[in-house]
Amino acid sequence: MSKLLTALIAAASFSIAGAASAQTTAPGVPATMPAKTSATMSKDSYNAERDRASATYKADRERCSAMTANAKDVCMAEAKGKEKVAKSDAEAAYKNTPRARENARMAKADMQYNVAKEKCDDLSGNPKDVCVKEARAVYTKTKADAKVERVAADTSRTASDKKMEARKDATEDKRDADYKVAVEKCDAMSGAAKDNCVRDAKVRFRKT
């Protein structure tokens, strides 16, 4: 992954922290996954968290309106993402199910991806194309991992073959995402160098 995309995603992750601050997580639980607890959030608390998320979004939207060009687009992507993350985290705490926790994790991934894409717009040509492809690859991998974790945690699907199937799909999705990034980088080349680059990518990611 390029240093640029790492910086973009790190910035998006930092923005997520503010949206998730209202929810308590267990020590050691990654910021991208709500804590798994036996207790669930009350209905009143759930509704309060959703209302708070909506109010925060309105305030953020007003702040973004004072900006222009791509900075405004990035700001809006962050604002919408923070609202979605906060509401998804609240729903995960309220329902306390593997599916709800998966949805909360994907809400964070959606925000990171959308913000990264907007920031890629500050680039042009092949660097921009690579930036977008790398952002998509990170998103695809997060989505695949979230599905594996949900299948593993879902007590209604305890058969080992279900978990193995999910892991197989995740591996294939990740490989496809990395392949697309590699091929996009080849576009910066020409002639025999580009042909060799594409051929090597196909071999490396088993596309032959």
pLDDT on residue 123? 95
Which of 73, 99, 92 lies closest to 157 in space, CA to CA? 99
For the CA atoms of 118, 120, 123, 129, the dihedral, rounded to the nearest 10 degrees, stands at: -120
For CA atoms 51, 57, 60, 61, give the dihedral sign.
negative
What CA–CA distance (Å, rounded) separates 190 from 179? Answer: 18
On the question of pLDDT at 20 being above 60, the answer is: no
Give yes or no for a contact between 82 and 57, defined as CB atoms under 8 angstroms apart. yes
On the question of pLDDT at 163 being above 80, the answer is: no
Per-residue confidence band for 2, with pLDDT thresholds at 50, 70 and 90: low
Which helix (H) or strand (E) covers residue 157, if one does? none
What CA–CA distance (Å, rounded) separates 205 from 178? Answer: 8
Q: Token match 């639980």: residue? A: 29
- Of 18-22, 38-42, 64-68, 188-192, the poorest mean pLDDT is in 18-22
What CA–CA distance (Å, rounded) separates 12 from 27? Answer: 22
On the question of pLDDT at 181 being above 60, the answer is: yes
* pTM for this entry: 0.62
In terms of C-beta density within 10 A (0-12 exposed, 13-18 middle, 19 or more buried), how is residue 145 classed?
Answer: buried
Q: Token match 């907007």: residue? A: 118
HSE (side-chain half, CA atoms, 13 Å) at 13 = 13
Per-residue confidence band for 6, with pLDDT thresholds at 50, 70 and 90: low
Per-residue confidence band for 29, with pLDDT thresholds at 50, 70 and 90: very low
pLDDT on residue 39? 61
Number of domains, the chain? 1
Q: In terms of residue numbers, what domain contains 77?
A: 3-204
- Fill in the amino acid letter for 208: T
Q: Token match 């959606």: residue? A: 110
For 50-97, give the DSSP string: HHHHHHHHHHHHHHHHT--HHHHHHHHHHHHHHHHHHHHHHHHHHH--
